[in-house]
Chain A
Amino acid sequence: MADSVAEIQKAKKLYFFIGMLLFFFTVVTVAVATVEVLDVNEHGFDWADATIGLIIATFKASLVMIIFMHLNHEKPLVYFFYGLALLMAFFCMWLIGWTKSDPIQYGNSSRADGFYNTNKPATNVHGHD
């Protein structure tokens, strides 16, 4: 991390540059979403727009973390904390995906016993005949 005056002066230029980069990529995100010429894949919003939007957002967030939050100069303990937190956050998302495997709520491909799933024929969910 910058500590001497000269280093801080140099770092300030970097912060400014990163700020400009973030502005630029914000404009890019909006342009990709709204300008028709930049429509990727189908016209309007689709998975390609979502992917591009999220990639740019992740890139911008990484810049903030690495440069502004000084993660490029941090101690291992901070990486550990941050890594753990991200792991937890992704665990939350995985949990959401996991609910999809709930056969009562969402039906089951091997046993079409969707008790709540009206699209599938309801069979005896208690397992009796």
Chain B
Amino acid sequence: MEIPFVVNARKDTGLNNSKVGIWLFLASEVTLFGGLFSGYLFLRLYADYPWPERALPILPGLINTFILIGSSVTVVFAWAALKMREWRKFQVYMSITIACALGFMVLKAIEYNAKFHHQAVRLKGGGPVEDYGILEGHLKKAELVADKFIVADDETTKKTIKENLKNKNKILIEGKVVEGEVQPGVLSTKKIAGLLAAKSEIKAANEALTKAKEPLEALAEAAAKAVEAADGAEEGTAEAKAAASAKEALATAEKNAEIAQENLEKAEDAYENLLSDLGHDKLVSYVGDSLKEFNGDAAAFEKEIFGKEKDEDFGKLGTEMVSDLKAAVSSPEYANKLVFEADKLVVTLMRPTHEAYIDDILEQAKERNFKFILSKDYALSRSGFPKEGEKLIASAGDALSVDLLDDLEDAFLDARAHDSTIRTSYEKASWAWIRDEEKIDDPGYDVIDMQVWKDRREDDKKNQAPHLYGAPSEVEFEIVRNSFAPCVLILNPSSIPVSGADQVKLRDDTVVKGRMLESPMIMKVDAIDFNSTALRAEKEGIDPAAAIETSWILTEPKLKKIWDAHQAWLKGHTKRLADKERNLKPTANDKYRVNWDQLLAYRDLDYDHAKIEKAGEDKTLKRSGIFDLNGFAGANHKVYDFPKVSIPRDKVGFESTFTPKWNTYYAIYFTITGLHGLHVIGGMIVLGYYLFFGRKMYDSNPDWLANRVEVGGLFWHFVDLVWIFLFPILYLM
């Protein structure tokens, strides 16, 4: 069948059909993007936070603009080549167009990728505006942890450790996180010497005690014999004297033993005190009482516990364990996790739990060899009907599982529905009663203040109680530990809206009770932004500088140094702007934001305020400018080293990568550019089809192909046209 009007125009429209089609389509596209641009306008005008101005690196956007304009020219050249029946030229121009489209998408991917890995943290805490300072950067790997300073002092414990290692149970993660490096429970030589001395004191005291106790038995026996021999003898006789001296000897020996016992207790106390001073009491409790001694130094320990000459097998396992742990905490994700030592889990039955959370908890528990079991029986029973009404849903000791929770939730909901029916029937009866008994027509809510109504409802409560299940709305699970491994749950901050020191509540209301271990957010900071703090301070009528002074950021020496340097630069910069005839003023970003390139420039000048101020005044501060290829898509953490800081978890107000979660700017940025990118891909496929499969049509009906290319080209120009607006509004404004 011949398709009409693909080459020639219809008389009524004056156009060929495909053109009518594409223009209708483009009209709908204009409306679609018009809506999105309106969305942008709305979000920007009504934003309740400082809208990020010129926040995106300009260079990729600029190159992409050139690419799209260039491809618009080549696509129209490709159409012209077809019109002039120059197939070869058509191929060349169309290939360039498609290459441009590919180039555009590659740049977009680089840009997106940079955003997905760039982290932002909004701080919270004290100060008149609750901080609101923002740090940007990359999450940094935490480096481990070593439990390599622990030595087992007996073969049984060593064997147990070995078994644990074989079963892949992690023995210990103990230490202090300092700027990303988890330092092992380091014992200084002095402390180790003290411990060893205390340990030998115990040994000596023990020996003394044994020695003191040794003659006790013989002495007691001798004393008994002497007393027996002296029985009946008069005072002053040899027997009586011997008995008295034997008694005395026994008493002295007993006293000596008592003193030795006291000495031993003292030595043991001293040792325990030293241990607790080191803060390793927890460590000891994890691994049991047999593991108390700390050896000399790291090297000696390594030799002892991981050394090949001692036990090759064990050494290998030990190395594996350390590398396992290292791998676990070296992933960038770990730097952003909450490490929580769990005691109990409380699950609410009021709403369904989030299966993924429970699965994750179960998996972690399995990995660390502990489990959660139900603390007590969950039974539905009505006090009035002990037999008929009672139903055991789960028993104490049942292991936590999603299925178990489902059963409990179902039971709870059934019980609640049942209880509601009972309560409603009692209330209905009471309304009927008050109408009939008290002769109140159409009783309204006024009656609830009447005493008779109150009395009646009190009776109702008593009467309905035996019929109600009153099922508990939450269940508690306790921990059963199967190994020395600490019962640690590593939780994702995004699943926890509010975190506390002794419990965390997940978004599904599941509560983990225990202790928050140190879980700082470790970041290499590439920008400091106080725009939000300043905006909030201005709204409150507070001096922004005073509000900024209270921020946690300025308590961190590395960041304070940068901020102080920035103030020096700002001084020079302000002076230079004011010197001009136009009397310009610094922008909010000048005042409240240290960008990554400034941050590096200050360091290059050794934070020398005089030099930095001068650089601000002369405009000679090394700024990346728009043509710095190392900062092509923003701060480049592969090329530049940025200061590493450890942000305490309780100071983290909100954190996200630069994705829609962070703010509405990135929401609209990804929505519009994402949709535009899909158009680029779509256009590329259509134009590619003409290039690779168009030859046959070119041979049979070249005008038809030319019309097709013109239609495809119109779409492509539209894609360019949208970008012409996107570039300035997203990158430059």
The chain A residues found within 8 Å of chain B, CB to CB, are 2-3, 5, 8-9, 11-12, 15-16, 18-19, 22-23, 26, 29-30, 33-34, 36, 39, 42-45, 49-50, 53-54, 56-57, 60-61, 64-65, 68-69, 75-78, 81-82, 84-86, 88-90, 92-93, 95-96, 99
The chain B residues found within 8 Å of chain A, CB to CB, are 9, 13-15, 19-20, 23-24, 26-31, 33-35, 37-39, 41-42, 45, 53-54, 58, 62, 65-66, 69-70, 72-73, 76-77, 80, 83-84, 577, 584-590, 619, 626, 713-714, 717-718, 720-721, 724-725, 727-729, 732-733
Tell which of B13, B29, B62 touches A75, judged by Cβ atoms closer than 8 Å.
B13
Docked complex Cα distance between A12 and B35 (Å): 34
Q: Are A61 and B714 in contact (CB under 8 A)?
A: no
Tell which of A22, A44, A78 touches B23, judged by Cβ atoms closer than 8 Å.
A78
Listed from nearest, the 8 A-B pairs whose CB atoms lie closest are A89-B34, A44-B587, A85-B27, A85-B30, A19-B73, A43-B584, A75-B14, A33-B732
Docked complex Cα distance between A54 and B44 (Å): 15
Chain B residues in 8 Å Cβ range of A60: 724
Docked complex Cα distance between A5 and B725 (Å): 34
Instruction: Decide: A45 near B587, CB < 8 A? Known: A8-B80, A82-B27.
Output: yes
Max chain A Cβ within 10 angstroms of own Cβ: one of B33, B45, B714: B714
Q: Within the complex, what minimum Cβ distance (angstroms) separates B695 from chain A?
A: 21
Tell which of A2, A44, A45, A78 touches B15, judged by Cβ atoms closer than 8 Å.
A78
Docked complex Cα distance between A42 and B590 (Å): 13
Q: Are B626 and A34 in contact (CB under 8 A)?
A: yes
The secondary structure that dominates the B interface is: helix
The secondary structure that dominates the A interface is: helix
Q: Are B728 and A54 in contact (CB under 8 A)?
A: yes
Q: Are B37 and A89 in contact (CB under 8 A)?
A: yes
Chain B residues in 8 Å Cβ range of A11: 80
Q: Are A29 and B728 in contact (CB under 8 A)?
A: yes
Closest residue of chain B to A12 (Cβ to Cβ) is: B80
Docked complex Cα distance between A44 and B76 (Å): 38
Q: Are A92 and B34 in contact (CB under 8 A)?
A: yes
Q: Are B77 and A44 in contact (CB under 8 A)?
A: no
Docked complex Cα distance between A64 and B719 (Å): 11
Q: Are A30 and B33 in contact (CB under 8 A)?
A: no
Closest residue of chain B to A34 (Cβ to Cβ) is: B626
Q: Are B733 and A50 in contact (CB under 8 A)?
A: yes
Max chain A Cβ within 10 angstroms of own Cβ: one of B15, B62, B83, B619: B83
Q: Beyond A53-B732, A75-B9, A96-B41, list 16 extra A-B contacts (CB 8 Å).
A: A15-B73, A23-B66, A42-B585, A44-B588, A45-B53, A49-B732, A54-B725, A54-B729, A68-B720, A78-B15, A78-B19, A78-B23, A82-B30, A85-B27, A89-B38, A93-B41
Q: Within the complex, what minimum Cβ distance (angstroms) separates B102 from chain A?
A: 19
Closest residue of chain B to A29 (Cβ to Cβ) is: B728
Q: Are B590 and A15 in contact (CB under 8 A)?
A: no
Instruction: Decide: A30 near B584, CB < 8 A? Known: A12-B77, A64-B720, A88-B30.
Output: no
In the assembled complex, 9 residue pairs joining A and B whose CB atoms fall closer than 8 Å, in A order, are: A3-B83, A22-B72, A30-B58, A36-B619, A45-B54, A69-B717, A77-B23, A85-B34, A88-B27
Docked complex Cα distance between A29 and B728 (Å): 8
Closest residue of chain A to B576 (Cβ to Cβ) is: A36
Tell which of A16, A57, A77, A90 touches B728, judged by Cβ atoms closer than 8 Å.
A57
Q: Within the complex, what minimum Cβ distance (angstroms) separates B680 from chain A?
A: 15
Chain A residues in 8 Å Cβ range of B83: 2-3, 5, 8
Max chain B Cβ within 10 angstroms of own Cβ: one of A18, A39, A50, A92: A92
Q: Within the complex, what minimum Cβ distance (angstroms) separates A51 from chain B?
A: 10
Docked complex Cα distance between A76 and B91 (Å): 33
Q: Within the complex, what minimum Cβ distance (angstroms) separates A114 from chain B?
A: 15
Instruction: Decide: A26 near B66, CB < 8 A? Known: A34-B626, A56-B728, A68-B717.
Output: yes
Closest residue of chain A to B43 (Cβ to Cβ) is: A96
Chain B residues in 8 Å Cβ range of A75: 9, 13-15
Chain B residues in 8 Å Cβ range of A84: 27
Docked complex Cα distance between A9 and B35 (Å): 39
Q: Are A30 and B62 in contact (CB under 8 A)?
A: yes
Q: Are A89 and B733 in contact (CB under 8 A)?
A: no
Chain A residues in 8 Å Cβ range of B725: 54, 57, 61
Chain B residues in 8 Å Cβ range of A15: 73, 76-77, 80
Q: Within the complex, what minimum Cβ distance (angstroms) separates A30 from chain B?
A: 6
Q: Within the complex, what minimum Cβ distance (angstroms) separates A39 from chain B?
A: 7
Docked complex Cα distance between A84 and B23 (Å): 11
Q: Are B35 and A92 in contact (CB under 8 A)?
A: yes
Q: Are B587 and A89 in contact (CB under 8 A)?
A: no
Q: Are A43 and B80 in contact (CB under 8 A)?
A: no
Tell which of B27, B72, B586, B588 touches A81, judged by Cβ atoms closer than 8 Å.
B27
Chain B residues in 8 Å Cβ range of A8: 80, 83-84
Chain A residues in 8 Å Cβ range of B38: 89, 92-93, 95-96
Tell which of B15, B80, B733 touches A77, judged by Cβ atoms closer than 8 Å.
B15
Closest residue of chain B to A86 (Cβ to Cβ) is: B30
Q: Are B584 and A69 in contact (CB under 8 A)?
A: no
Chain B residues in 8 Å Cβ range of A88: 27, 30-31, 34
Docked complex Cα distance between A95 and B589 (Å): 32
Q: Are A43 and B84 in contact (CB under 8 A)?
A: no
Tell which of B37, B717, B728 touches A33, judged by Cβ atoms closer than 8 Å.
B728
Docked complex Cα distance between A50 and B588 (Å): 17
Chain B residues in 8 Å Cβ range of A64: 72, 717, 720-721, 724
Closest residue of chain B to A76 (Cβ to Cβ) is: B14
Chain A residues in 8 Å Cβ range of B30: 82, 85-86, 88-89
Q: Within the complex, what minimum Cβ distance (angstroms) separates B515 from chain A?
A: 38
Tell which of B9, B31, B70 touches A92, judged by Cβ atoms closer than 8 Å.
B31
Q: Are A26 and B69 in contact (CB under 8 A)?
A: yes
Docked complex Cα distance between A79 and B718 (Å): 15
Q: Within the complex, what minimum Cβ distance (angstroms) separates A98 from chain B?
A: 11
Instruction: Decide: A26 near B34, CB < 8 A? Known: A12-B77, A60-B724, A75-B14.
Output: no
Docked complex Cα distance between A82 and B39 (Å): 21
Docked complex Cα distance between A113 and B33 (Å): 35
Chain A residues in 8 Å Cβ range of B66: 23, 26
Docked complex Cα distance between A68 and B717 (Å): 7
Chain A residues in 8 Å Cβ range of B53: 44-45
Q: Are A69 and B714 in contact (CB under 8 A)?
A: yes
Q: Within the complex, what minimum Cβ distance (angstroms) separates B149 from chain A?
A: 55
Chain A residues in 8 Å Cβ range of B39: 96
Docked complex Cα distance between A65 and B732 (Å): 23
Docked complex Cα distance between A12 and B587 (Å): 45
Docked complex Cα distance between A92 and B37 (Å): 9
Chain B residues in 8 Å Cβ range of A90: 34
Q: Within the complex, what minimum Cβ distance (angstroms) separates B85 from chain A?
A: 9
